[in-house]
Amino acid sequence: MRTVAQALIKVHEVLLQELDALEKQVRSIARSDRRVKLLMTTPGVGAIVALTFVAAVDDPGRFSSSKRVGAHFGLTPKKYQSGETDVTGRISKTGDGGVRAVLFEAAHIVLTRPVKGGALKSWASKLAKRAGMKKAKVALARKLAVILHRMWSSWTAFDAVKAASA
């Protein structure tokens, strides 16, 4: 048992060293990219979220409106309409699941940790009281996608006042 435990400890140490090296590379890439630096001014958005968003969107001009970014990543509800029937379902989950996951993580950070950008947090907290925490996180993730796209399109840093009205 002792031999197995020692081998596992050595493997764990090597994995931690590799993780540190990978983290340094990610931070280096984030520091060298203007777009990523700009997006990281948003609360809850770190290097991984910003890099993932930039890689997935590639060109902000692809979208005619920032509102379309949320739908592109599957963060808007499904809609079924036929005759008198009008059903609004769960989120569509179309598009890149990785981007959806990191935006959801960013929303989770904003809602559960003390971060700047009180307007976003207060908006999502009010929504969480009304609709539940999961729905509030998804709504905040969609809002973050819209905000990140608008920031990138206009090359402006995060502004809490504009974000609250978005």
User: Are residues 124 and 110 in contact, defined by beta-carbon separation less than 8 angstroms?
Assistant: yes
Chain Cα centroid distance, residue 130: 22
Nearest residue to 146 (alpha-carbon basis) of 65, 74, 77, 91 = 65
Q: What is the reported pTM?
A: 0.88
Query: In Å, what is the CA distance from 43 to each residue of 23, 37, 50, 91, 111?
Result: 20, 12, 11, 24, 10
Tens digit of pLDDT at every position of the chain (166 positions): 999 999 999 999 999 999 999 999 999 999 999 999 999 999 999 999 999 999 999 999 999 999 999 999 999 998 889 888 888 889 999 899 999 999 999 999 999 998 776 888 999 999 999 999 999 999 999 999 999 999 999 999 998 777 766 6
Torsion of CA 134, 138, 143, 144, to 10 degrees: 100
